[in-house]
């Protein structure tokens, strides 16, 4: 029996737990305090909107949103026109928002690690699959749209 790999939301939840634990156990430096921490709402909302927009495009194009599954369509419309990985970008923005709400330097550690982990665990595999599936169309898209922003 093949063991299921954790999906990106699991990594986000883990990052949120680690952020909270680091913030409350070793806050290191508090660089923001209330009400300045409310600036975190900007990246948080942007991240949620980006994820909802990307998810909507997956549904409109009737292709899979799940990592490791072969896509039936190459989506190049917004938000995929600004980032090849808007959902991972959105999740990272959500983490940035939460870190700003917390306001401590230690809460930023998972924010730095998360995109690197997404790149290694998901993005490289997904982009390889898209290159195999869509060939020259994928290459043209990559030459016009950056991986993150």
pLDDT in tens, 31-40: 878 898 899 9
The three-state secondary structure class of 104 is strand
Instruction: Tell me the pLDDT of the chain averaged across its residues.
Output: 94
User: pLDDT, tens digit, for every residue of 74-87?
Assistant: 999 999 999 999 99
For residues 118-125, give the mean pLDDT: 96
pTM value? 0.92
With contact defined as beta carbons under 8 Å apart, do 4 and 103 qualify? Answer: no
pLDDT at 73 over 60: yes
Q: What is the mean pLDDT of residues 128-143?
A: 96
The per-residue pLDDT for 2 is: 60
Estimate the share of the chain in helix, then strand, then coil, as percent rounded to the nearest 5: 65, 0, 30
The residues facing 104 across adjacent strands are: 30
Whether the Cβ atoms of residue 110 and residue 27 lie closer than 8 Å to each other: no
105: left (phi over 0), alpha (psi -120 to 50) or beta: alpha
- Least Cα distance to 71 among 120, 11, 121, 132 occurs for 132
Q: What is the mean pLDDT of residues 55-67?
A: 94
């Amino acid at each position: 029996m093949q063991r299921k790999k954790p999906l990106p939301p699991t990594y986000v939840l883990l990052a949120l737990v680690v952020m909270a634990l680091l913030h409350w156990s070793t806050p290191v430096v508090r660089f923001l305090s209330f009400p300045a921490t409310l600036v975190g709402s900007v990246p948080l909302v942007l991240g949620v909107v980006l994820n909802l927009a990307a998810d909507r495009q997956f549904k409109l194009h009737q292709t899979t949103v799940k990592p490791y599954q072969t896509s039936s369509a190459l989506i190049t419309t917004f938000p995929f026109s600004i980032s090849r990985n808007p959902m991972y970008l959105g999740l990272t923005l959500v983490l940035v928002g939460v870190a700003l709400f917390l306001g401590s330097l230690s809460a930023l550690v998972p924010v730095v690690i998360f995109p690197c982990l997404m790149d290694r665990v998901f993005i490289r595999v997904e982009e390889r699959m898209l290159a195999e599936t869509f060939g020259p169309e994928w290459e043209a898209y990559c030459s016009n749209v950056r991986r993150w922003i």
